[in-house]
Structure 1
Amino acid sequence: MRPFLVVLCISSIAAAAVAASISTECVTEEPPSINIYDPVGTAVAAPVVKIRNGTIIGSRSGHVDSFKGIPYAQPPVGALRLRPPQSINRPFGTIKATSPRPTACPQVQNLQLNLSSLPPELEALVEDMLELPEPQGEDCLTLNVYRPSGATPCSRLPVGLWIYGGGFQNGATQLYNGTNLVNKSIQLGQPMVFVAMNYRLGAFGFLAGKKLQKEGSTNLGLRDQQLAMHWVRENIENFGGDPFKVTIFGQSAGGISVLDHMVINGGNNLYHGEPLFRGAIMDSGSIFPANSVASSKAQAVYDQVVEAAGCSNHFDTLACLRALPYQKFHAAAETIPDVFGFQGVDISFLPRFDPNDDFFSESAEVSIRCGNFAKVPIIIGDQEDEGTLFSLVQINITSSEELVEHLRTYYPEIGRRTLAGLVSKYPNHPSAGSPFRTGSENQVYPQYKRLAAIFGDLVFQWPRRTYLSVAAFQVPAWSYFSSYLYGTPVLGTFHSTDILALFGGGIGLISAEAVDSLQTHYISFINHLNPNTFSDSVVAETADQSREPLIPQVFLGDDSGGSVIDSLNRIRNWPRYDETRKLLNFGNHSNSIIRDYFRKKAFEYYVHHVEEFRF
C-alpha cells in the first residue's frame, strides 16, 4: 500500500471510530481554536481544552492530540515537602502544555550496575533504558494526556491511566509517549485516551519512619497517584474520556502501585460514591510484601537520610529536612543504596503499611488473603527472566553457602535455615537457572543464573501467582508469561522488556507481531474489560503467521510434570486464569498456552514463608 493511502485509511478509521463513540444527544461548546507556531514559523491549529482551573493548549501529531505537563497538585515544595499532595485550589489561567520534556520528579542515579558482561548492542540498549530523564525538580506533579484528535467531551472514550515503574526511585511521564498506543486503538476501531502521571520518588515520595508516621505523611508517592486519579475523574471528560471507564495499568513499581491501589482504604476504591477505576493491568509487579512504616528497616533509612543531610543534631529532624535546599536533600537521599546495588532488588524506598492509617493499613499480601481488595477484572503477568538484570553486580558469589549468606544481608530478619531451604529448591546447576532454557550458557559467575532465578521468583513470579490464587476466583482474570527475547545473551527476556513491546519501542529486538499482539489485547481490555474483543479483520490479517517452538515446562525448572498444552493463534482466545492455571505465553512471532505450575516446590516453600520475605 502506498504511503498516502495509508494516511487516508487511518484518517477514515479515526473519524469513524471517534464519531461512533459520540452520542447524538450530546451537545458541547468547543473552545475557540488557537494557533501555535512550529519551528519554522508556520501557524498550526492547536487543540484547546477548558477544565475547572483554566485552559490547556496542547499539540497535534497526525491523529493524536497531546497535552503534556498539566499540573494536578500544588507544587510539593517548601512547607509542602514530605507532606501529602494538595489539590490545586485556584485558577491557573492558560497553560501551554506542549513541552516535549515536562519536569520529572527527582531521581536516584543507578551507579552500581555493571553491564560489562553484555554484548555491546545489548549494553547500549540497557543503558538507554536506564538513562535518567531531564529536567528534574520538586515541582513535578503533572500528567500527560493523549487522545484521538477527533475526541470531544461527548466522545466518552475509555481511559488507560498509566503508572510508570523504576523501583520507586526512577521514572517519568516523558519516557512514555502514548501516541503509538492511541494510534493503534484508532486503527483497531477501539479508540482510547491515554493518561500518565508523575509521582514523587525516593525519599521525596516514600521516606518512612516514626516521625512521618505520627504526622500522617507516609506513602506520599501513592497519595500522589491517587490524587491524579481524582483529577482524571474530575477533568478527563473535557478531553474526550469517560471518567467511569478508567483502567489503571503499570509496570514494575507501577504494577506494584496498581495492586496497592486495589488494597488501600481496605479495598474501597470509591470516590464520591463511584469507583475510581473499573479494571487493572499489572506488568511485572503485583504484591510486594513490606514491613511497616515504623519498622526497624524503615527507621534506619530515615535515620541515614537525616544523618547524611546534617540534621541529626536538630530537635525536629523532619523540619530540618523540609528546610534544606533541594540539592542538599537530594544528595542525602542518594546515599541510600539503589535498586541495582549489591543486594539486587533490596528497595529502600517503597510503599509500606501503616496500621494507624486507614489509607494503607496492612501489608498487601494480608489484604489479598483476607479478600480486602477492589473486585475489578485484571490482567497480570511477568517476563520469563525477571531476575537477570538485578543479578549482574554480585560477582563474588561462587557457592551455595555464599548465596545463602548474601540473601541474609537481603533479609536480615530471616534465619539461615529458612534461606538455605529456599536455595535448596533451586538446583545448583546453570541449566536450571535464568535465563531459562539456555543450558550451561550465560553463567556470568558461578551462582549468577541461580540467583537470577531466585530473584525473579521472589519478587515477581510468586507474588503474581499468590495474588491469582485468590483473585482469579473472585474476578475475571487473565495472566501471561513473556518469552519474546528468548536467546538474548546473559539477560534473556529480562525485566522491563515489556515496556518495549507495549509502547512499540522495541522494533528490531522485539518483533512487530509481538508488539501488535500485546497492544491489541490491552486496548481490547481497556475498552471492554476483555482482552479478546477485536475485529475479525484484524485476526484474519495475522492468522497465517509462523509459529515458534513451544516451551517445554521442564526447562522452566518444573517439578510437577506439566507441559505446554496448546498452541495459539497470534491474536485470538486468551483464556481466563482459573483452576486450570492457563497462561498466555507471548512469543516473538506467535503465542502459545502454558500452565502456571513451573517450579512448584519453590513456590510452595515461598507461600509457607511469605510474611518472612517482607522488604
Structure 2
Amino acid sequence: MATNTTAITLATPHVTLHGIIAGQHGTVAQFRGIRYGRVPARFAPPVLATLESSVSSSSPSRDGGAGAAAETKDVDCTAYGPRCPQQPIDVGYLLRLPEDVELPREPEDEFECLNLDVSMPAAMVERKSLRLLPVMVWIHGGSQVMTFGSAASGICDPCKIVEDSVKQSKPIIVVTVQYRLNIFAFGDGKGARNLALKDQRLAIEWTKKHIADFGGDPENITIAGESAGAVYAHAHVVQNAPVKRAILMSGTLELSPPRPVSYEATIVAPMEAKLASIGTSLRTATAEQIIQALTETNMVSMWLQQSPDEPELSEWTRSGSVKSLLVGDVEYESILWRNGIEALTPQTIVDAFDLAGEHSGELRRAYGIMGSRATQTKTGALDFINDTRFSWPIQKLSRAWRAGGRAVYGYVVDQANPWQGSSRAHHAVDLVLLFGGLGLSFNPAAEAVADEMRRRWIAFVNGEAPWSADTTFAFGPHGDCRELDAGGLAARRRTVQLATLERVPAAQVGAVFGALAAGRVSLLN
C-alpha cells in the first residue's frame, strides 16, 4: 500500500477501505479501483459487485457489542483499477502535451474494468462534517472506444476539484467511473446491447447504495461527462437515472445519435470476418486479437444502439428527475474532423451540401462553401460540423428544457490550449482546465480560467446558480471570464448560421453531415 494512506470503515458490510491522502495540501482522500460490478462473461450485462469482492486481505475484529465477533475485511484501494482493453492512442497528441509530460501506462482487463474511484475531503474520513456532501459522478469520453483522460492518467484526476471545494467551504465528493468500451461494450448482436450504458448505470446505483458511507448524499448526485461521456450522461438523464443535476461538456445525444440495431452489422460483420480469417470469433477470440481486429478494420468510433428495450433513447429532450443543467462547448470542437476534411476536394464538399436539396444554396452561403476556394470551403465544412454536432444541439436542448421549467446554465470555453495557443480552444481542452491535473502555473491566463471553471462547477454541484440563467458564461479568451448577453454570445458563436440550420429539415442537415464527416473523425488531429 502507499506510504501516505488513510482508511475508512463502512458500516454495512464491515469493510475497511485503505486509500491514499492526495492533493497538494493533503486535504483529499482517494479510494481507487473499487469494484462496482462484475462482468460474468463477454457481452453479458454487468452484475452489481459487493465490496467484499475486492478484498485483498481480511482480519477478524470485535465489534464490542454483546461479545459477538464481527469480521472486518480490508480492501486495498491505493491503486487505480484496470481500464477496458482498447487501441493505444496518444492522448497527448490532441491536447498538445509537451514531450516531457509522460502519462502512465494503464493496465487493461476485460473482466476487471468495472471499477471506480472516490475522491473526497480527507476530513470526511473522520466524519468531521455533520452533513452529507453533494456528489459528482464523472464519465470520461473517448469516442466510445477508448479512455480519453482517466483519473489514473492525471488528466482527469479530480483531486484539484475536491481540494478547491474544501477551500471554498463547499466540499463535494467526486466519483470517477471506468466502464466497457468499443466492441466489448457494443456487443456482437446476439445478446445485450449498450453495455457501457449498463455499466455506468450500475456505477450510479453503486454510488446511491454506498456513497453515504463516504459522507456523500445519495439524494444529491450530479452526473457529468465530456464528449462521449456527455453523450452517456445525457442518455442517463433521458433514462431517468436517479440524479439531481447534469453537466454536459461538449456533447449531447445528438453528437452521436443512437442508431437502429440494423446498423450494428456495419461494426459486427467486418469484425467477425477479420477474426474468422484467423480461426476465431468475437465470442472466442482473446482480448488482444479483438483489439488487433479493431485496428485492422479501422473502428475509430461507435454509437449507442436504439434497441427495442430502450425506446427513451429517442426522446432527447426528456429531463427525467434532473432539475438543472449546465451545458456548453469549446470554440473549436470540429478539430476532430480537421484532417479528414482537409483530405477532401472542394467539389466533394460542395456535393455534400447539395444533399440538402432546396436548402443547399442557403447552407452553402451561410458557411462560405465555394468550390473555387479550397481553404474557405474546408473551413466552412468544419464550421458546419461544429455547429450541427455541438452548438446547435446545445441550443435546442437548452430551449426545450427551459420551456419545461428546468434551470439551464449555458457556457462557452474560448481559452486557447495552454501549451500551443495557435491550436485554439479545441475539443477536450476544457478537461485540462477543469481538472488542472497537469498543472497550469506556467500559463497564468489558463490558470485563471481553470480556477474560475472549478469555482462555478463546484457551486453548481452544491445546488447553487453558477451564474444567471439568462446569460451565457464565457471562460476565456486571454484569462478573461464574464457573463455574456445575447449580443456577446453572437460575437463568439455563429448565431446567424444556427438560425439558418433551424430552417432546414433535420434529415437534410444530417445527410450533409454524414457525407462530410462519416469515417473522418480522429483523436489524432
TM-score (norm 2): 0.80
1:470 positional shift: 0.2
CA contact (8 A) 2:139 2:224 kept: yes
Aligned 8 A contact 1:143 1:173 in 2: no
Asked if the contact 1:173/1:198 (under 8 Å) is kept, the reply is no
Change (3 A) 1:464 1:85: same
Match of 1:251 among 205, 217, 226: 226
Shift in Å at residue 594 of structure 1? 4.0
Kindly provide the CA deviation profile for residues 489-518 of structure 1, in whole angstroms up to 9, marking residues without a partner as x.
Answer: 553110011101111146135522211111
Partners of 1:377 and 1:353 in 2: CA distance: 26
String of CA shifts for 1:176-211, please: whole Å, max 9, x gaps: 211111110000000111110001111111246xx3
1:382 equivalent in alignment to 2:271: no
SS in structure 2 at match of 1:195: strand
Name 1:584's counterpart in structure 2.
Answer: 473
The aligned counterpart of 2:44 is 83
8 Å CA contact 1:66, 1:146 repeated in 2: yes
Determine the structure 2 residue equivalent to 1:63: 27
How far, CA to CA, are the matches of 1:485 and 1:54 in structure 2? 46
Q: Could you report, residue by residue, the CA deviation over 1:22-45 in whole angstroms, capped at 9, with x for unpaired residues?
A: xxxxxxxxxxxxxx563xxxxx55
Aligned to 1:543: none
Distance in 2 of aligned mates of 1:387 and 1:127: 27
Q: Secondary structure at the residue paired with 2:224?
A: strand
Q: Shift of residue 607 of structure 1?
A: 6.5
Instruction: Tell me the residue number matched to 2:159.
Output: 179
Determine which structure has greater relative contact order: mean sequence separation of CA pairs < 8 Å that are 6+ residues apart, divided by chain length.
2
Q: What does residue range 530-541 of structure 1 map to in structure 2 within 5 Å? A: 530-531=465-466
Aligned to 1:305: 271
Aligned to 1:136: 108
Measure the CA separation in 1 of the matches of 2:251 and 2:429: 13
Structure-1 residue corresponding to 2:59 = none
Measure, in 1, the Cα distance between the counterparts of 2:331 and 2:117: 31
When residues 224 and 530 of structure 1 are mapped into structure 2, their CA distance, relative to the original with a 3 A threshold, is same
Tell me, in whole angstroms, the C-alpha distance in 1 between the residues paired with 2:109 and 2:358. 45
Contact 2:6 2:21 in 1 (8 A): yes
Q: Of 412, 416, 420, which residue of structure 2 is paired with 1:485?
A: 416
Secondary structure of 1:391's partner? helix
SS of 1:388's equivalent in the other structure is helix
Alignment partner, residue 261 of structure 2: 294
Structure 1 residues 262, 604: closer, same or farther in 2, change over 3 A? farther
C-alpha RMSD of matched pairs (Å)? 3.4
| Aligned AA (1:202) | N
Identity %: 22
Equivalences for 1:403-482 in 2 at 5 Å?
A: 403-405=349-351, 422-428=363-369, 447-474=377-404, 475-482=406-413
Q: Could you report, residue by residue, the CA deviation over 1:546-573 in whole angstroms, capped at 9, with x for unpaired residues?
A: xxxxxxxxxxxxxxxxxxxxxxxxxxxx
1:77-108 CA-partner distances (Å, limit 9, x unpaired): xx621121111258323321111x43111223
* 2:433 corresponding residue in structure 1: 501
* 1:147 to 1:372, Cα distance in 2 relative to 1, 3 A: closer
Which of the residues 517, 521, 524 maps onto 2:456? 521
Give the equivalent residue in structure 1 for 2:250: 284
Separation in 2, partners of 1:336, 1:420: 36
SS at match of 2:268: helix
1:361 and 2:298 correspond: no
Amino acid in the other structure paired with 2:233 = V
Q: Partner amino acid for 1:322?
A: R
Distance in 2 (CA, whole Å) between partners of 1:404 and 1:125 is: 38
8 Å CA contact 1:388–1:453 kept in 2: the answer is: no
Q: Corresponding residue for 2:468?
A: 575
Whichever residue aligns with residue 32 of structure 2, its letter is: K
User: 1:126 offset after TM fit, Å?
Assistant: 10
Query: In the TM superposition, what whole-angstrom CA distance separates every residue of 1:189-238 from its partner, at most 9, and x where no partner exists?
Result: 00111110001111111246xx34xx3x1110011110000000011111
Structure 2 Cα separation of the partners of residues 293 and 63 of structure 1: 47
Q: Is the 8 A contact 1:425 1:602 kept in 2?
A: no
1:72 aligns with 2:36: yes
Q: Which residue of 2 aligns with 1:593?
A: 484
2:388 maps to amino acid: L
Is residue 305–residue 335 contact of structure 1 (8 Å, CA) maintained in 2? no
3-state SS of the aligned residue for 1:221? helix
SS of 1:236 mapped into structure 2: helix
Residues 341 and 381 in structure 2, CA contact (< 8 A), matched pair in contact too = no
Q: Is the 8 A contact 2:207 2:218 kept in 1?
A: yes
Per the alignment, residue 123 of structure 2 pairs with 150
State the secondary structure of the residue aligned to 1:480. strand
- Number of equivalent positions: 466
Task: Call closer, same or farther: CA 1:392–1:125 in 2, change over 3 Å.
Answer: farther
Matched, 1:236 2:211: yes
How far the C-alpha of 1:363 sits from its partner, in A, is: 4.5
2:335–2:426 CA contact under 8 A, matched in 1: yes
Q: Which amino acid aligns with 1:482?
A: V
Structure 1: runs of 5+ lacking an equivalent? 1-35, 39-43, 270-275, 315-319, 340-346, 409-413, 431-439, 532-573
